[in-house]
Structure 1
């Protein structure tokens, strides 16, 4: 029997009752951020649901009023997957068309249901640490061909480990936050011997998916690959904005730094792994070479999530699609990323975030960065009104969306909302 809600949900909604994402929001009449979920075009104030006693009795969820009145999801995420699952099922029951407790209580409904157009979204967690990976084989190959040639596209370690670097947690921002064009050192020409300082002229997007650690691990202990999914609370969309000219000068020998740390945008609703479980699929074959035992998975670990990037140039009046990709293309899974991250005993904490790195598919129309789409600026993107781009200009707006089950027979699809941002002019010359 199909699960249905008494709340009206359109067929193309990102947030059917089968989703139940978690986020942090506030409203003008109640400016204190608190925990909510989304259904249809409404936010559900879980602090009010808890105050009404509708979340009492969930094993392991002690003091739901306190937990869902907090301004981050960290405490809730630390409770572990059995609590997340039981809470999500309880919320689905409360919102179902056959449950009268909320449906027929008009006074409580006024407090609980808020139009999404009237809420302000906040970062869903206090992000203590952020690691960005480099896990799309197509993306790594494309970049390698551009800068090292076809014969040396992939570095020798790439097919053995999920490559990553430590990103900057302080500059992770929620969708809708403007991004300031960064300045830094860059080479004025390819054959130049010395750098100059100035605004980045090769500002790029990176289509990524992020994952949040729920329950962490102790220092010195690892998270086993077979348990990794139980430690991941859920996924968000990510745009890891990149200044390619700054990055190109600085990345030898220690990797990305100022070319990445000026801003990373994420969508505000964390979609749980339970909601995404129906869309698990087998990822790319990892047979030559075979991963070391601690990275080997014996069940599907990729997710069939359609991803789309749209850009509205500053001179234009509408967004246009520049690429369509899918998370299932990614070579190293999110569970492999987490298992590798902790195999040396690195302790992960609730609210820590990882990101996949740019997700590119096998065709040009599925590349996840302007660097690839324009092949390092060689080929221009032409929009319908004749505007052209190789990299982002001031005033350009970028919007990433994602959907699982868009073409499935399940009768619903799971979305993430938007991950968007607008480029502001650099403050320094």
Structure 2
């Protein structure tokens, strides 16, 4: 029922009421003034009733207009509420667009930054996460409980954090260990608590610092030791040369002892000089000269080198073939030689076991090219695992403690890593190429 029809109906009602009032006034002999007053009262009541009905219908009209997409709300152009509504609607649209823009910016940042970042609610549910989370942690986080898989201590640290806190933790991602710098920030929005968590890998930075520390230590040690050993070796050789064959002692054994002492001093001094020259490689390792080469050719060369010297050891090359890679052939060859030499020496200590050494080319879970050097020897003790890459450390009577440390440094300079993988049988070292 539209407004014009309602107005017409109201006019007709008022006209009928006037006619009835005129008939009643004639019948009851009322004065004209009294009849007019009564008529005005009736008109006022009908007008108020009409306003009340319009007031009741106005919200319904507003909601119906909004539901139909009528942004004018069916109001006349001159209606005072229409202008206020237009202003309110403009502000709401601007606020909505601003909120959408902020959400898009946040999503773009999450997808752009190469940093694992999580936002979780007070119940530990992850509501936002960057794309780097899956790459860094090897899994997509839906709940903080997933952190337990890598290290339960990280989950405990993040769950109990109530202020801005940070810490360093080990993270076990499959077989490749990582060191993570974890930072937690808390914030409150509309009486609800949220946590922003970043998990940054600092393994590469720690390796670099470690190698730099070893280089400085090596330079100091080799310089000081060389300054002492070189003159000792020279003097021992000179003393041996100065002893005449005709020199007589009261006891011939005294002459023999002197000759043996000087010979031993000269021999050991020469051995230490050779050791220092070899150890200087750690501090003077040249920058890799990268060239593209076939990885399988490099592995085959290493196999043939040891197969001819150790025919009793079963040396096998397997895995992916015809893979081109960019590396310093001489340096990587040295790494493979060091690892194979250690493996062959290890299997030699197992007389009742058929000695085996495997060189396996593969891609790890991150798509990185790797070479595993595995044996079926006795393996490596837990204590030795903690120290194996430290210069000078060795479990061999004739070892120098340089081979693994030098090999690790070569792999780090290639942008990769040298890892020890725990196996149920024997030892296994993985060369990871960056």
**Fold conserved between structures, TM > 0.5:** no
When normalised by structure 1's length, the TM-score is 0.27
Bigger fraction of residues in strand: 1
When normalised by structure 2's length, the TM-score is 0.26
